[in-house]
Amino acid sequence: MFLEVKNIAKTFHKEEVVKDLNFSLSENKTLSILGKSGCGKTTMLKMISGLVASDHGEIFINGENIKDKAPEKRNIVYLYQEDLLFPHLNIFENIAFGLRLRKVSQQEVEERVNQIISALELDNQGQKMPHQLSGGQRQRVSFGRAIITNPSLLLLDEPFGSLDTGTRQRMQQLFKKLAHEFSITSLFVTHDLKEALLMGDEIALMEKGRLQVYPSKEAFVEDPATGVKNEITFWDSLINQNEIKEMRA
């Protein structure tokens, strides 16, 4: 397995936020993690990225234990719900940021940034400043900035949470396309049931600090704890009510 998380846990002020987490993920796959606010999703992602130290446990990437590695050396990018574009840099420089940190040559920076700009459908936007873009465009730039560094693992913490429904759908499709095109391995955290089902190759549910990874999407749908059944029942009853009304009419 490409990513292996073994027994990691975290306690804040005597409260166990993440409890003995165990899961694994194959290369170039996306694991969707569904969970409500405060269930420990963000803490889990921050432990994997190294931004928060775990109390115990181990994290392996491609067989290497990275638990004691500094976050800047893990090659794991953590993306927030907010796009967090640097307001003092234009779009080109925002995307190039990770390459500049690695002191990549100017020619290579230009080639790679222009390639990403095209892939993100942001042609001719490179010289604009972040405040001149829409929410969806900004989130795309944020993706580009992360992808360009070829991270081993991409951690997405409710990345589309602040977008409207239409933009959110387009961003989901774009992410699927980019994940395939750039062979991205990722953990996609969301509290949206539909998004969790759409985005993940595998799917998991996080509740009160515990993570349950399902063997298949069918198993996820069948588990009453995920709320999928309730959702189906709700829509079915709504359709049935409408049909009865139509028949009476």
Residues in contact with other proteins by CB under 8 A are 46, 49-51, 71-80, 82, 84, 86-88, 97-98, 100-102, 145-146, 149
Give residue for tokens 């170039």.
28
Give helix 135-147 / helix 91-101 axis angle, nearest 10°. Answer: 20
Q: Whose Cβ is closer to other proteins: residue 77's or residue 205's?
A: 77
CB of 196 vs other proteins, minimal distance in Å: 23
Rounded-to-10 torsion of CA 229, 234, 239, 240 = 90
Half-sphere exposure of 74 (CA within 13 A, CB side): 23
Nearer to other proteins, 33 or 228 (CB): 33
Return d(Cα 101, Cα 122) in angstroms, integer: 23
Q: Is the Cβ of residue 102 or residue 245 nearer to other proteins in the bound state?
A: 102
Sequence-separated (6 or more) residues with CB below 8 Å from residue 39: 206, 207, 208, 209
Output 153 or 228, the one with its CB closest to other proteins: 153
Residue 79 Cβ, how far from other proteins at the closest point, in Å? Answer: 8
Of the candidates 134, 144, 90, the residue with the CA atom closest to the CA atom of residue 114: 144
Is the CB of 34 or the CB of 99 nearer to other proteins?
99
**Residue 101 class from Cβ within 10 Å (0-12 exposed, 13-18 middle, 19+ buried)?**
exposed
Residue placing its CB nearer to other proteins in the complex, 34 or 45: 45
Q: How far is the CB of 74 from other proteins (least distance, A)?
A: 8
Q: How far apart are CA 195 and CA 190, in angstroms?
A: 7
Minimum Å distance from CB 39 to other proteins? 20
Smallest separation, CB 101 to other proteins (Å): 5
- Containing H/E element for 18? strand 15-25
Q: Tell me how far, at minimum, the Cβ of 144 lies from other proteins, in Å.
A: 12
Residue 160 exposure: Cα atoms within 13 Å on the Cβ side: 22
